[in-house]
Amino acid sequence: MLIDAQRLGKRYGREWIFRDLSYSFRPGSATALLGPNGAGKSTLLNTLAGQLLPTAGTLTYSLGGRELAVEDVPQHLAYCAPYLELLEDLTLSEFLRFHTRFKPLRPGLTPERLVEIMYLEKARNQLIRQFSSGMKQRLKLALALYADAPLLLLDEPTTNLDAAGQAWYQEHVQTTRAGRTLLLSSNVPAEYAFCEAQLLVTDYRVRREKS
């Protein structure tokens, strides 16, 4: 998916989170959105995803040479963020069957195989609310990485992961990134070291407008 931002800006009240951002995010590219905590990385990520309306500028989306309306973007994106909720009263197997009805996995991949990829075979019949925070994050990552979606958004992807989980992330993000447009919000260098491009949100930050 191609995302073209022209003079993009987002403001809350009179405080600009970012402003005058012009950039093209192209298929096959991986771009890190960087900045300290509170800089607006997640706001920028959600604006680019069409989840938040920009205050200024324009966003256009195209897939396979065909322009997409912003309301059609969600069906083509996969998103992983620590703040996204899971249906915790379902078992892992139940949840995967439910989730993949709405967001299919990559061709040829089954929910059963995804359980194996996550190394969660022993937890397939366990309620998700009984999972550790690391297990939940690995599940969120796997659903995004292995979704049949050309736009991949990752917000602080290794949150709650131990060393083994971080290694799992590094392996599988590389396995699944080819041909996709990948946007990654982070301030942890190991998370985004593979990204070819970096955008520092504070480079587009404008302080409160004068009254």
* 3-12 pLDDT, tens digit each: 999 999 999 9
Domain spans in the chain, listed from the N-terminal domain onward = 2-204
The residues pairing with 23 across neighbouring beta strands, listed in sequence order, are 5
**pLDDT band for position 205 (50/70/90)?**
confident
Q: Long-range CB contacts (< 8 A, 24+ apart) of 114-117?
A: 114/142, 114/146, 117/142, 117/146, 117/172
**Residue 77 — φ and ψ, nearest 5°?**
-120, 155
Average model confidence (pLDDT) across the chain: 94
Mean pLDDT of all residues in 134-146: 98
* pLDDT tens per residue, range 56-66: 999 999 999 99
Asked if CATH classification 2.40.30.10 holds for the domain at 2-204, the reply, yes or no, is no
Q: What is the pLDDT of residue 107?
A: 96
Q: What is the pLDDT of residue 206?
A: 61
Whether the pLDDT of residue 85 is over 80: the answer is yes
Mean pLDDT of all residues in 104-123: 97
Asked if 59 and 5 count as a contact pair (C-beta separation under 8 A), the reply is yes
Q: Edge-to-edge strands of the sheet including 2-12?
A: 15-25, 2-12, 56-63, 66-68
Whether the pLDDT of residue 121 is over 90: the answer is yes
Q: What is the pLDDT of residue 33?
A: 97
Q: What is the pLDDT of residue 38?
A: 87
Q: What is the pLDDT of residue 105?
A: 97
Whether the pLDDT of residue 178 is over 70: the answer is yes
Distance CA 152, CA 39 (A): 21
